[in-house]
Amino acid sequence: MRGLSINKRGVSPIIATVLLIGMVIVIALILFLWFKSLRGETITKFGGQNVELGCGDVNFRAEYVGNRLVISNIGNVPIYEMNVEIRSAGSHRTEKIDASGDYGNWLDYGLDVGGVFTSDDLSQKFGSGSGVEGIVLTPILLGASEKGQKIHACDEDQNGYEIPLS
Can you give the pLDDT at residue 44? 60
Domain assignment of residue 1, yes or no: no
Residue 26: the pLDDT is 97
The reply to whether 2 falls in a domain is: no
Confirm whether 36 is domain-assigned. yes
Residues 74 and 21 grouped into a single domain: no
Burial class of residue 50, CB neighbours in 10 A (0-12, 13-18, 19+): middle
Is 106 within a domain?
A: yes
Residue 49 lies in a domain: yes
- Are 96 and 156 within one domain? yes
Give yes or no: residues 83 and 140 share one domain: yes
pLDDT computed for residue 131 by the predictor: 78
Q: Which residues pair with 96 in a beta bridge?
A: 83
| Residue 84 shares a structural domain with residue 21 | no
User: What is the pLDDT, as a whole number, of residue 45?
Assistant: 63
Number of domains in the chain: 2
Domain contains 4: no
Residues 134 and 54 in one domain: yes
Same domain, 102 and 156: yes
131-154 pLDDT, tens digit per residue, is 788 889 999 988 877 777 888 888
Question: Domain residues for 145?
Answer: 44-164
119 shares its domain with 105: yes
Q: What is the pTM of this model?
A: 0.68
| Same-domain status, 55 and 69 | yes
> Are residue 16 and residue 60 in the same domain, yes or no?
no
Residue-level pLDDT at 139: 92
Instruction: Strands of the chain (E only): list them.
Output: 44-45, 49-50, 60-65, 68-73, 81-88, 91-97, 116-119, 132-145, 148-153, 161-164
Residue 26, in any domain of the structure? yes
Report pLDDT digits (tens) over 12-50.
Answer: 889 999 999 999 999 999 999 888 777 665 666 656 667
